[in-house]
Amino acid sequence: MKVFIPKSLQEAVSFLKENQNFIPFAGGTDLMPLLAKGVLSKKNSFIDLNNLTEELSFINLQEDGNLWIGSLATIRKLCENHIIAEHFPLIAASAINIGSVQIRNLATIGGNIANASPAADLIPALLVHDSSLILTSDKKTRQIDLKDYYVSYKRTSRKPYELITGIIVKPLEQGRILFRKIGNRKNLSLSKIVVSSYIAKEFETKDPCRFAAGSVKEIPARLFNLEESVINRRISESELRNALLRDISPINDVRSTCIYRTEVLLRVIRKFIEWK
């Protein structure tokens, strides 16, 4: 097994430019199980990002109210951060529900995003916050909206020579939020459904609601049709159901069923919308 351990971000990206088959390795909590299962093996090569932790685990509130999070910030760090707890409760709730203490100590936000699992718990909250990613390569840095990042099942628009270096999270206006993770037990469980939602207090603003969910289609899903339905106040059960069905395409797998995912998501969202 080949492992390259760069000392700086610059060294990392210049190496990647020449060695595009090297797989970025952050906390390793997604990669290690793949190695154990044999999906990855000693034939693969890795670039270990752990020396870049200092450079890339910042959590900074900018003057414009946006929150910048370094890709190597651990989930534990998100859980313990006061700004997040106070101003970004959806992120805080998503983070604290990930894995176990041991996993949260290692797992990074960048890994959660880059792994591109439809069940990744942080992503719906980040989508509701209209977040964007900073991708860095040898000579260039680009920004992309998170909602455009996922292409198909476990495929993203990241180029093999790019690293995710930061996430820009926009604040929400005053309003109500909902986070629900439905797993098959209370702790250490992967999501059967994970949902983050926001409805503005002032419904007349230009962006009055956002909904996003995980594990309900092949990529993390922003529920645009549902949002439109809500904005147009078409919120009867059948209207919501029809809108939702255009947003999601859940499957039967070892964790849950298509019917369960659809029905429960609908019920949870309806309850949230109707809440007074």
Partner 1 sequence: MKKDKKIFHRVDADEKLRGKALFVDDIYMPDMLYGRIVRSPITRGILNKISIPEQYKKKDLVFVTYKDIPGKNCVSSVESDLPILTEREIRYKGQAIALIAHKDREFLEDVLASLELSIERLPACTDMVDSLNKKEILVNKDNIFRRLRIKKGNADKFLKESYFKSERIYRTPHQEHLYLETQGMIGYMENGVLNIKGSMQCPFYVVEALELGLGISRKRISVQPTTTGGAFGGKEDFPSLLALHAALLTMKAGKPVKMILERGEDIAFTTKRHPSLIKQELGFYKEGKLVAARVKVILDAGAYETLSKVVLSRSILHAMGVYECDNVVIDGELVCTNTPPSGAFRGFGAPQSMFAIESHIDEISSKLKMNPVDIRRINIIKPQSILCTGQNIGNECILPEMLNDALKETRYITKYEKNNIFNSKNREMKKGIGISLFMHGNGFTGNGERILSSRAGLTLKANGSIELLFSNIDMGQGCNTVMIQIASKALQIPPENIYVGKIDTLSTPDSGPTVASRTTLIIGDLIYKASKKLKRILQKSSPREDDFNKKAGKYISEHGELTIIEDYRHPEELSFDDETYQGEAYRSYSLGCNIAEIEVQLDTFQIDIRKFHAYYDIGTVINKPLSEGQIRGGIMQGIGYAMYENLIFENGVVRNNSMTDYIVPTAMDMPQINVKFMKNKSNYGPYGAKGLGELPMNGPPAAINNALRQALGIDFHSIPFLPERILEVWMKKNE
Q: Does 189 bind partner 1 (CB under 8 A)?
A: yes
DSSP H or E stretch at residue 97:
none
Question: Which of these ranges, 82-90, 106-114, 172-180, 263-271, lies near ligand FAD under the rule CB under 6 A?
Answer: 106-114
What number of residues does the chain have?
A: 276
Cα(245)–Cα(256) distance, rounded to whole angstroms? 17
Say how far residue 82 (Cα) sits from the centre of its chain: 20
Q: Which of 6, 24, 166, 220 binds ligand FAD (CB under 6 A)?
A: 24
Say how far residue 2 (Cα) sits from the centre of its chain: 29
Q: Which of 143, 246, 271, 274 binds partner 1 (CB under 8 A)?
A: 271
**Exposure on the CB side of residue 152, measured as CA atoms within 13 A:** 0
> Least Å distance between CB 242 and partner 1?
18
Considering only residues 12 to 51 of the shown chain, the ones binding partner 1 according to CB under 8 A are 33, 37, 42
Q: Does 96 bind ligand FAD (CB under 6 A)?
A: no
DSSP H or E stretch at residue 3:
strand 2-4
User: Going residue by residue from 74 to 93, which x/- string records binding to ligand FAD, judged by CB under 6 A?
Assistant: --------------------
Residue 5's closest CA among 48, 44, 42?
48
Binding partner at 264 among partner 1, ligand FAD, none, C-beta below 5 to 8 Å by kind: partner 1
In contact, 91 and 169? CB cutoff 8 Å:
yes
User: Going residue by residue from 146 to 165, which x/- string records binding to ligand FAD, judged by CB under 6 A?
Assistant: -----------------xx-
φ and ψ at residue 161, rounded to 5 degrees: -95, 5
Cα(126)–Cα(78) distance, rounded to whole angstroms? 13
Binding partner at 166 among ligand FAD, partner 1, none, C-beta below 5 to 8 Å by kind: none
Cα(269)–Cα(273) distance, rounded to whole angstroms? 6
Binding partner at 255 among partner 1, ligand FAD, none, C-beta below 5 to 8 Å by kind: partner 1
Q: Which of 13, 71, 243, 265 binds ligand FAD (CB under 6 A)?
A: 71
Q: Does 28 bind ligand FAD (CB under 6 A)?
A: yes
* Contact partners, residue 29, CB within 8 Å, separation at least 6: 99, 103, 106, 107, 111
In contact, 186 and 94? CB cutoff 8 Å:
no
Q: Does 155 bind partner 1 (CB under 8 A)?
A: no
Q: Does 172 bind ligand FAD (CB under 6 A)?
A: no
Q: Does 108 bind ligand FAD (CB under 6 A)?
A: yes
Q: Does 190 bind ligand FAD (CB under 6 A)?
A: yes
What are the beta bridge partners of residue 142? 135
Q: Does 220 bind ligand FAD (CB under 6 A)?
A: no
Cα(174)–Cα(12) distance, rounded to whole angstroms? 40
Binding site for ligand FAD (CB under 6 A): 23-31, 33, 49, 71, 98-99, 103, 106-108, 110-112, 114-115, 120-121, 163-164, 188, 190
Which residues bind to partner 1, rule: CB under 8 A?
33, 37, 42, 182, 184-190, 254-257, 259-260, 263-264, 267-268, 271
